[in-house]
Amino acid sequence: MSPVAVVVGPPGAGKTTTGEGLAAALGLPFRDTDADIVAGAGKPITEIFTDDGEPAFRELEERAVAAALSEHPGVLALGGGAVLSPATRALLAEHTVVFLNVGFAEGVRRTGLSAARPLLVGINPRARFRELLDERLPLYREVATVEVLTDALTPDEVVAELVASLPARPGGQAADGTGPTADPAGPTAGTTADQTPDQTADQTPDQTEERR
């Protein structure tokens, strides 16, 4: 048993909102590994960072992701930094991974550089956010089956792109049930592999998300 789709992306990309919408569109359950970590630790992620440090959080995250990948049959959303783990990236190679990309300016607008996001707390959260995008973009693309640039899209539009773009499910049907989909060998939807977040920084539609 494994997820039909695993959703990854930076803070503000819309992983939870899109994951929930995609699961609803496909008639499947939704799961969020950040929620699993909070439930297991008995405290919010911000407190885990404060009390135990980021390395301890990453260990919890790695275990939570491995467990969810092995047992969840629906749509699974991972925390923004989950791809930092080589072990997690190796596991993701066996799954259909949706990369939700977001440009720098739009990501700043959506997140508000909130203190609820522990990695964005500091003297210059804008600079830190750009560092996160630059550091993680190659890792997201390393694991991605499908990539969607979300800056100019509503959550419903992102879900529609994914339903049309996901690789065939068992039985030869596309995610929308209409038949085989396009070649899943690499990012396919919404953007090209050589685009960077800065190339879309001036687009500012109305969409908000999320705690990572």
| CATH code at position 108 | 3.40.50.300
More confident residue, 128 or 196: 128
Q: How many independent structural domains does the chain possess?
A: 1
Residue 173 lies in a domain: no
Residue 83 lies in a domain: yes
pLDDT digits (tens, 9 = 90+) for 176-208: 544 443 343 445 455 434 444 444 333 333 333
Q: Annotated binding residue at 13? A: yes
Q: Annotated binding residue at 15? A: yes
Q: Annotated binding residue at 14? A: yes
Least confident of 139-143, 164-168, 191-195: 191-195
Percent of the chain with pLDDT over 90: 60
Q: Indicate whether 145 pLDDT > 90.
A: yes
pLDDT at residue number 189: 52
Residue 22 lies in a domain: yes
Q: Annotated binding residue at 117? A: yes
Residue 206 lies in a domain: no
Q: Annotated binding residue at 186? A: no
Report the C-alpha dihedral over residues 197, 46, 109, 191, rounded to 10 degrees: 30
Q: Annotated binding residue at 58? A: yes
pLDDT digits (tens, 9 = 90+) for 18-63: 999 999 999 999 999 999 999 999 999 999 999 999 999 999 999 9
Q: Annotated binding residue at 96? A: no
210, 15 contact by CB (below 8 A): yes
Helix (H) or strand (E) holding 77: strand 75-77
